[in-house]
Amino acid sequence: MSDPASEAGWRTVHPGWTPLLLTFLVLTLVATVVLYVFSYDTDEVFAWTVLPAISAAFLGGGYAAGFVLVAGSARQRTWAGARIGVVTIFLFTVATLLVTLGHRDRFHFGTGGFAEAAAWFWLAVYVVVPAGMAVMFFVQRRVPGVDPPLQAPLSGWLRGLLLVQAVALCGSGAVLLADPERILGGWPWALTPLTARAVGAWCLPLGIAAGMAVVEHDAWRLRSAAAAYVVLGVLHAGALVRFRTDVRWGLWGTWVYMAVLVSMAVAGVAGLLRARAVDASLPGAKAARCA
C-alpha cells in the first residue's frame, strides 16, 4: 500500500528507527513501574539505589512521559512529526550515559543478585541505544523529501510559555549536570550528587525539546510531546503529594518547581486542543499526522 506522506514528497521516517524506538518503549515502561511504583525498593530492584524515594518517583514520572513520547514518535510517518521526540530521547540517553560513567562507583556492579544484573543491563542499554540512534541520524539525512506545511500553528502565548520553560529547564538541567552543589540548597527535596545529575539528565533534554517546539511551531508535529508533557506534570505533582513529608515546602525553589509543573501541564493540554481543533480533512493533514 502506498504511503501518502511519501507520495506528497515529504521526508518520511526511516524504518531503521522502529527497532530502536520499540526497544526503548519497553525499557521506559519497565523503568516507570520500578521507579514510580517501587520507589522505596531501588536498592534491590534497580541499577543503583535512588535516594530519597521521591527522586525515584521523579525519574519514574520522567520515564512514563518518555513512554508516551516514544510511543507517539514510533507511530509517526513524517520525520517532522517524529523529530522532536527522537532528538529528545537521544539527548537523554547520552546525558544519562555520561552520568552513569561519572558515578559508576554508585551502581550495583559486583553486588550480586538482581540488582547487579539490572546495573549491567542499564549500562548496556545506555551504550547501545544512543550509539544506534547516532548511526540512524546519518541514515535519516539520506531520506529524500521536505517537511510538510504547517497544519496548526501555535498561538503566541503558548510559544512564549514554551520559550520560558526552555530557558528554565535548560538552565537548571545544565547546572544540575555540571555543578549540582550550586542548586541543591534550593531544590524541593534533598538530592545526592548522583540523583541531582540524573534529574539534570531529564531537565536539559526537556528544555531543548521545549525550544524545538517553539521552532517547529506546529501543534500537529508536537502531539506526542504535548501528551508527554501532560503525563510528566501530573505524575510529578502526584509524587509531591505522595512524598509530601520529604518536600521542603518553605523553599522558594519548591514553588517555582510547582509553577513549572503547572505550566507544563497547561502547555501540553493547550497543544493537544490546538491540534484537535484543526480539521483533519484539510489537504495533507491526514498524511502529516500519526498513521
Digit-coded pLDDT (tens) for 1-35: 445 555 467 889 999 999 889 988 999 999 999 99
Task: Report yes or no: 108 and 119 within 8 Å, Cβ to Cβ.
Answer: yes
Digit-coded pLDDT (tens) for 72-99: 988 888 899 899 999 999 999 999 999 9
Give percent of the chain with pLDDT exceeding 70: 92
Q: What pLDDT does 211 receive?
A: 94
The pLDDT of 235-261, averaged and rounded, is 93
Rg (CA), the chain: 19
Q: What pLDDT does 4 receive?
A: 53
In the structure, what pLDDT confidence band is assigned to residue 281 with cuts at 50, 70 and 90?
A: very low
Digit-coded pLDDT (tens) for 160-218: 999 999 999 999 999 999 999 888 888 999 999 999 999 999 999 999 999 999 999 89
Residue 266 has pLDDT above 70, yes or no: yes
| Residue 178 CB coordination number (10 Å) | 11
| Residue 15 CB coordination number (10 Å) | 8
Digit-coded pLDDT (tens) for 111-122: 888 889 999 999
Q: What pLDDT does 77 receive?
A: 87
The pLDDT of 276-281, averaged and rounded, is 59
Give percent of the chain with pLDDT exceeding 90: 70
Lowest mean pLDDT among 162-176, 238-252, 263-277: 263-277
Q: What pLDDT does 89 receive?
A: 93
Give dist(CA 5, CA 3) in Å, integer: 5
Q: What pLDDT does 2 receive?
A: 45
